[in-house]
């Protein structure tokens, strides 16, 4: 199954024209930056270093991403550029997850049309295996942000169990 079966809906904007799409979002633990060419090496390194972990992450199991054989730096750049085009066209939004106080890419967030008729947006997130403790907090915080700050009626996410007493959401990250 492709990563985003809802990509068939990329002919129209995912958000209304008057919605100001954020290019950055910060929490005390991590920040999101709209994926750009400057993230290419860090993005590739982050997912290539732990392909089986990402493949097993909720929302990615059973998809074709990440490819088991990996990608060259140029192939990854082509993928990054596709996400940049989608962002500019407002049909999908991909963010690099950066650890606060660092320029290291530690994961990615994808906001794309859901494949079903019940949701208008699907949220998928992953983090590096060596930062697995952040997987659930990042996913929960991002999902809450999308549900409360974005103009979606029904968001499809891929829940994680809550880890180590972290309560995600606005209050936990403020």
Tens of pLDDT, residue by residue over 100-127, are: 899 999 999 999 998 888 999 999 999 9
The predicted structure's pLDDT at residue 162: 59
pLDDT exceeds cutoff 90 at 170: no
pLDDT exceeds cutoff 60 at 92: yes
Q: How far apart are CA 138 and CA 173, in angstroms?
A: 10
pLDDT band at 146, cuts 50/70/90? Answer: very high
Mean residue pLDDT of the chain comes to: 87
Residues 160 and 123: beta-carbon distance below 8 Å: no
pLDDT exceeds cutoff 80 at 10: no
Q: What number of H helices and E strands is found in the chain?
A: 5, 6
pLDDT band at 137, cuts 50/70/90? Answer: very high
The predicted structure's pLDDT at residue 62: 80
Domains of the chain: 5-173 (3.40.630)
Q: What are phi and psi of 47, to 5 degrees?
A: -85, -30
The predicted structure's pLDDT at residue 23: 97
Residues 133 and 164: beta-carbon distance below 8 Å: yes
Burial 101-113 (b: 16+ CB within 10 A, else e): eeeebbbbbbbbb
Q: What are phi and psi of 76, to 5 degrees?
A: -65, -40
* More confident: 100 or 174: 100
């Amino acid at each position: 199954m492709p990563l985003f079966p809802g990509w068939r809906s990329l002919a129209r904007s995912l958000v209304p024209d008057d919605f100001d799409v954020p290019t950055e979002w910060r929490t005390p633990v991590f920040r999101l930056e709209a994926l750009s060419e400057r993230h290419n090496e860090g993005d590739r390194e982050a997912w290539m270093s732990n392909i089986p972990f990402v493949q097993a992450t909720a929302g990615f199991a059973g998809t074709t991403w990440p490819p088991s054989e990996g990608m060259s730096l140029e192939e990854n750049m082509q993928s990054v550029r596709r996400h940049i085009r989608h962002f500019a066209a407002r049909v999908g939004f991909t963010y690099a997850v950066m650890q606060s106080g660092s320029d290291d890419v530690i994961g990615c967030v994808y906001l794309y049309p859901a494949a079903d008729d019940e949701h208008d947006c699907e949220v998928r997130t992953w983090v590096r295996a060596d930062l697995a403790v952040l997987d659930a907090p990042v996913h929960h915080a991002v999902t809450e942000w999308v549900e409360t700050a974005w103009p979606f009626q029904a968001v499809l996410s891929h829940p994680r169990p809550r880890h180590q007493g972290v309560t995600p959401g606005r209050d936990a990250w403020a």
